[in-house]
A = this chain, B = another copy of it.
Amino acid sequence: MNQNKDTIVKPSILSGFLELLPEDQIIFNNMLDTIRSTFESYGFIPIDTPVIEKAEVLLAKSGGETEKQVYRFTKGDNDLALRFDLTVPLARFVAQHYGVLTFPFRRYHIGKVYRGERPQKGRFREFYQCDIDIVGDEKLSVINDAEIVSVIHSTFKKLGLDEFTIMINNRKLLNGFFMHYGIKDNVEVLRIIDKLDKIGADNVRKELVASGISENVADEILEFTNLCGDPDDVISALRQIDIDNDDFVSGLEELETVWSYIKAFGLDSSEIEINLKIARGLDYYTGTVYETILNHHKELGSVCSGGRYDNLASNYTKKKLPGVGISIGLSRLFYQLREANVISVSGVKTTTKVLFVPLGDTSAYAIKTANYIRRKGVNTEVYLNDGKLAKKLNYANKLGIPYVAIIGEDEVKKNTVCIKDMNSGEQSVYTIDELTEFVKNIM
C-alpha cells in the first residue's frame, strides 16, 4: 500500500457488514446489556474465546454450506479460520479445559461471529450471537431444558418484546414417529416438512409422496406435524397415538417433564406452545428443540432457537458431554426490528445526562461542578470549546442531552448552577448543596 499522502481513499465498509450510528448503537448496547444481565441472573458464567482459531480445530466436523462460508486464511505457517458460531468454540473450550471446569457448566457467550454468506437484506457477514448452554458431565437432567425456556422468556420480556411464542418440540418424538412408519431418511422428510409454511400442506404432501412415501403415511405425517398449540392439549393428543417405539415413548415423556417444569417456572400456555413442525437443524439436536417467534412479526422467523444435544464435544474428547442451549442472533434481530419500527430511535445520541456550558471565563468552575455531579453517578460532559451559546445549546439538542447547566460569571460569583431542562425549556437555579436533590430526581 504505502500510498501517496495526498491520496484520499473513499471511506467505506464491506458489503454485508453492519455498522451503527451512535443513536442505534446506544439502543443496541442496551439490548446486549439486558441480555447479559438476564443470562447472569440465572447463573450463567461468561466466556470469551478467540475470534481466530486453528482451522483444523474449528472445522473438525463441519462441511458443506458452513465450510464454504467460513473465513479461512493462512498467516505464516498457520491455517486459520474465523469462528462461524459460538457452539463449536464452546465444545473446544469445554474439552480443552475439562479438568478445571465445574459441571454442569453453565456458560454464556456474547460475541461476533463470521459467515461469508451471499449478501442480502438483513443477513450479515459479521454478527453478534448471544448464547447460553448448560453442559453436563456424562448426564444432564431434562429439567434444564425447561429452565432454558424460562431464560428465553425473561430475556424477551426484559427486552420489551412482550408478545412472543416459544415453541418447543422433541426430536426423539419425531424420530420415533418416522421409525414407526418405516421411514429411514428422517432428514429428507424433515426437510420437506420444514416447507409447510412456505408451500402449504398440499405441496408438502406431493413432495412426500414423490420422495417414496405412501399416500397414507404422508397423510399421517401431515396430521402429526400439524399438532400444535397449548402443550396440555398437544400432550393429550400425543397420548392417544398408539406408537410403542422407544424413541417416541421417551420423547413424549421428556416433553411432558419439560412442560411440567416450565409451569414450575411460572409460565403457561399463553406464551408457550408445543409445535411438532419444529425440527431445528438436521443432525445436531437429539431431544428438546426450541424456536421463538414474535407474534406480530412472524415474518422474521425464529428469533431465538436451540435445543438439546447428546454429545457436545465429540470432535475433541471421548467424554460424553450432553447439553442444552439457545442462541439469539442479535444483529439480525436488531436490524429487522428497526426496519419494522418495533424499535424506533429516540433522538438520543449519547448517554450524557447533563452538559455544562461555560460562558466567558468560567470553564474552571464548570469543570469543578461537573466533576461533583459526575461523582454522584450522572454522566456529565463539559463543553470545552469556543462558540456562542446558541451553538453550544444546539450541540446539546442534536445529541439529545436532556439537561444543560449554563455557567456564567453570575453563577461563579454566587456559587450556583442554572440548569435548563431541554424538553420543557424550564430553567432552575441550584446551590451546590441543592444539586444532590437534582441528581436524585434525574437518576
List residues of A whose CB falls within 8 A of some B CB.
1-3, 5, 7-14, 17-22, 25-26, 28-29, 40-43, 45-57, 59-63, 67, 71, 73-76, 78, 80, 91-93, 95-97, 100-102, 104, 106-107, 112, 114, 116, 125-126, 136, 139-141, 143-144, 147, 150, 261, 264-266, 313-318, 349-352, 355, 363-364, 367-368, 371, 374, 377-382, 384-386, 395, 398-399
Instruction: Known pairs A144-B385, A265-B371; list 13 more (Cβ under 8 Å).
Output: A1-B55, A5-B61, A8-B315, A11-B91, A11-B93, A12-B54, A13-B53, A14-B50, A22-B47, A41-B377, A139-B386, A144-B384, A150-B371
User: Which interface residue of A40, A367, A374 has the most chain B CB atoms within 10 A?
Assistant: A367
B63 pairs with A1, CB closer than 8 A: yes
Q: How far is the CB of A319 from chain B (nearest CB, A)?
A: 10
Residue of B nearest to A91 (CB): B11
Which residues from chain B contact A318 at a C-beta distance below 8 Å?
8
Residue of B nearest to A364 (CB): B264
Task: Identify which of B9, B104, B266, B381 contacts A43 (C-beta below 8 A).
Answer: B381
Which B residue sits closest to A264, measured CB to CB?
B364
Bound-state CA distance A397–B5 (Å) is 60
A138 to chain B, nearest CB (A): 11
How many copies the complex holds: the figure is: 2
* Complex-state Cα separation, A302 to B349, whole angstroms: 33
A73 partner residues in chain B, CB cutoff 8 A? 71, 73-75
Q: Report the bound CA distance from A316 to B11 in whole Å.
A: 6
Q: Are B3 and A61 in contact (CB under 8 A)?
A: yes
A380→B28 CA distance, assembly (Å) = 26
Q: Return the chain B residue nearest A386 by Cβ.
A: B141
Task: Specify which of A43, A57, A61 lies most central, judged by the most chain B CB atoms within 10 Å of its CB.
Answer: A43
B316 engages A261 (CB within 8 Å): no
